[in-house]
Amino acid sequence: MLIIMRLCCLLSRSLDLRSLEWSYLFLDSQTCQLLASWTTPAYLSLPSPRISSRKFEWKIQTPHPFDLRYPYSYPFLINHPDKCEGPRGAPFLLMLVMTRPQDVGVRQAIRQTWGNETLVPSVVVRRLFVLGLPPPLFDKELQALLEEEDREHGDLLQVGFLDTYRNLTLKVLMGLEWMAQHCPSAKYVLKVDSDVFLNPRFLLHQVLWPNGPSPPDFITGHINRNTNPVRRLHTKWYMPPELYSQSKYPDYCVGPGYVLSGSLALRILTTAQHVKAIYLEDVFVGLCLRLLGVKPTPAPPNTFLMFRRKYNHCAFQRLVLVHQFQHQELLKIWPDFLTSNAACPTV
Reported as a single tens digit per residue, the pLDDT across 212-233 is 778 999 999 999 999 999 999 9
Q: What is the DSSP letter of 343?
A: T
pLDDT at position 347: 61
What pLDDT does 180 receive? 98
Nearest CA-CA partner of 166 in 272, 238, 76 = 238
Q: What single DSSP character describes residue 228?
A: P
Instruction: State yes or no: cis peptide before 41, omega within 30 of 0.
Output: no
214/229 Cα distance (integer angstroms): 32
Q: Strand 50-54 vs strand 304-305: parallel, antiparallel, or unpaired? A: unpaired
Question: Using an 8 Å Cβ cutoff, are 154 and 218 in contact?
Answer: no
Domain assignments of the chain as residue spans, ordered by start: 2-61, 76-298
Q: Give the whole-angstrom CA distance, residue 295 versus residue 184.
A: 22
Give the model's pLDDT for residue 137. Answer: 67
Residues 264, 216: Cα–Cα separation, whole Å:
6
User: What pLDDT shows up at residue 246?
Assistant: 97
Rounded to whole angstroms, what are the CA distances from 249 to 135, 285, 287? 30, 11, 8
**What architecture (CATH level 2) is domain 76-298?**
Alpha-Beta Complex (3.90)
pLDDT of residue 28: 38
Which residues in the chain show pLDDT less than 70?
1-64, 136-138, 347
Cis before 136? omega within 30 = yes
Strand partners for 188: 93, 261
